[in-house]
Structure 1
Amino acid sequence: MVATIRWLTQAGTHTEDNRDAFAHATQARASVYLVADGSSSHPRSGEQAQALLNELTIGFSQLPMAELNAEQLADAMLRLIARSHQMLRDDFPLAACSYLVLCLLPDTAFTVHEGDCCLGAIEHDGEIRWLSAVHCAPNWLGDLTHAQIARASSRHTLTRCFSARRTSSPEINYWPARPNQHWLLASDGFWAGLCAQRQQTFLRDGHLPAPPTDDDISCLSVITPPT
């Protein structure tokens, strides 16, 4: 399934480098779309985020896709993440990042994520409906809305992330897939740092006149083809 994609990103002011990254890869039966957000508090986290996405896209392209159903493909992605965790730990001992992987197959979709990158669906009226959970301290029960989390001062304390200093603990979710669906994969600089009006401006223009947040602002738009 080949989708139309658009990567929008704008650097914040907290770090000299933009630590958000994206990647995608397609095989005959499936496509993956990935975003990662390197921590602004730990050195080389932007490099780690990009290295993780590189490892996952290369690994995905080598999978025997014709032999795998959705559940088997999800398990294969978990193994790729675990392998990447082992491979990158020595190169990035202090770094940390959040990531989100969206995999689209002809009849279903699933996500794998750790941290505070979030999956959304853009409705026909343009409103964003956030779908995935945020792995952060205020949401330890998993019962808060994204708007509630965005207002919490402790939301930057993550309960899950990709880091050599932590055991990797990805969350998998399955989602209905339909033609002409508009997915949005966003870093917290987008979903939590911007109000709804500024989110729409960013989606329309691809940038803001000035970053209203210290954090990098990024999102990956993925639109599946019509039937």
Structure 2
Amino acid sequence: MRYLSRSITGQASRANNDYAGATCEGDRGFFVVADGTSRRGSGQLAECFVSGMLAADSTQLEQGGYPAEPGAIERLLGSILSDFHASLPADQTGAICYLIGLVAHGRLTVAYEGDCSCGIVTLLGAIEWITPPHCKANWRRDRSHCELAQDPARNSITRCLKINRVPNPDFVWCELEAVERLVFVTDGFWADLTQVQQSSLLAAPDSDFSVGDDDVTWIDVQLGRRD
């Protein structure tokens, strides 16, 4: 398994409030993306979140790694999120959307709140998104990312992490036998870029590229052939 990550500051941003981090070892990987809102303190919270999750992953590996049973993994990730939230100072401001992706025991488990997304990249470079965003435009949880990208109501997030809201992630998981590539992104990637632009950046991640107003961040993970 190997990965690469890139973040591009949006034209409307004074500072990039997107953060991402990852660790890989053998066939295990831990991936985090966080997108700070425009509220004061959100960039600091996003940065703190990513570093906190990576530290928790390191601690878990020191304690023997991750369980194999899906329910146990969900409980563990929920506990990690709760512990992080409890450690925040009382005066912490801001709000973030986040997504955690854990690859272990041949399975992907995703925990997320907000509009950061995870997708499976096909051999043709297209992305099949597997995490329905938490936003007013998707209150029925039945709209595709392509549809949501055209609806301004997608910017009204219905779930996020902040000091006065206990983490309440949704979980998505899938078996990885036939999956070769994953991508973890902020909404600047899936909503503000066209599908052609998304595929182009995955094909040439270091290319010169001018994005729109929002920050664009992604982690591209190559799992290798499994079938």
Question: TM-score of the superposition, structure 1-length normalised?
Answer: 0.90
Aligned to 1:140: 139
The CA RMSD measured in Å over matched residues stands at 1.9
Q: 1:58 aligns with which of 51, 55, 60?
A: 55
Q: Report the secondary structure of 1:65's partner residue.
A: coil
Deviates further, 119-128 or 25-34 = 25-34
The residue type equivalent to 1:154 in the other structure is A
Higher mean alpha-carbon deviation, 53-62 vs 63-72, is at: 63-72
- What does the per-residue CA deviation read over 1:72-100, in whole Å, with 9 as the maximum and x for residues that have no partner? 2321111111111121252522x111111
Cα 1:144–1:89 change in 2 (3 A) is farther
Match of 1:48 in 2: 45
Structure 2 match to 1:37: 35
CA distance in 2, matches of 1:65, 1:135: 33
- In structure 1, distance between residues paired with 2:196 and 2:31: 25
What one-letter code is carried by the residue in structure 2 that aligns with 1:14?
Answer: A
Once the two structures are TM-superposed, the CA of residue 107 in structure 1 deviates from its matched residue by: 2.3
Contact residue 180 and residue 222 of structure 2 kept, 8 A: yes
Deviations 1:135-156 (A, max 9, x none): 0011111011111111111111
Kindly state the Cα deviation for residue 172 of structure 1 after the two structures are TM-superposed. 0.9
What is the CA–CA distance in structure 2 between the aligned matches of 1:51 and 1:25, rounded to whole Å?
16
Quote the Cα distance in structure 2 between the aligned partners of 1:140 and 1:180: 29
How many residues are matched? 222
Return the TM-score normalized by structure 2. Answer: 0.90
Paired residues of 1:116 and 1:188 also in contact (CA < 8 A) = yes
Where do 5+ consecutive residues of structure 2 fail to align? Answer: none
Cα offsets for 1:6-40 (capped at 9, x unmatched)? 1122100222111111112356773211111111x
Change (3 A) 1:147 1:186: same
* Cα 1:143–1:225 shift into 2, 3 Å: same
Of 133-142 and 170-179, the range deviating more from structure 2: 170-179
Aligned twin of 2:82: 82
**Matched-pair contact (CA < 8 Å) for 1:60–1:77:** no
User: Which deviations, in whole Å up to 9, do the C-alpha atoms of 1:106-159 show, x marking residues without a partner?
Assistant: 321110001000001110111111111100011111011111111111111111
The 8 Å contact of residues 183 and 223 in structure 1, kept in 2 or not, is answered as yes
**Match for residue 7 of structure 1?**
5
Q: State how far apart, in whole Å, the 2-side matches of 1:25 and 1:209 are.
A: 26
Deviation of 1:62 (Å): 1.3
Taking the aligned partners of 1:109 and 1:38, their CA distance within structure 2 comes to 24
Give 3-state SS (helix, strand or coil) of 2:155's partner. coil
> C-alpha separation between the residues in 2 aligned to 1:111 and 1:16?
30
Query: What is the match of residue 16 of structure 2?
Result: 18
The answer for unaligned runs of 5 or more in structure 1 is: none
Identity %: 23
Kindly provide the CA deviation profile for residues 160-191 of structure 1, in whole angstroms up to 9, marking residues without a partner as x: 11111323210111111126610000110010
SS of equivalent to 1:220: strand
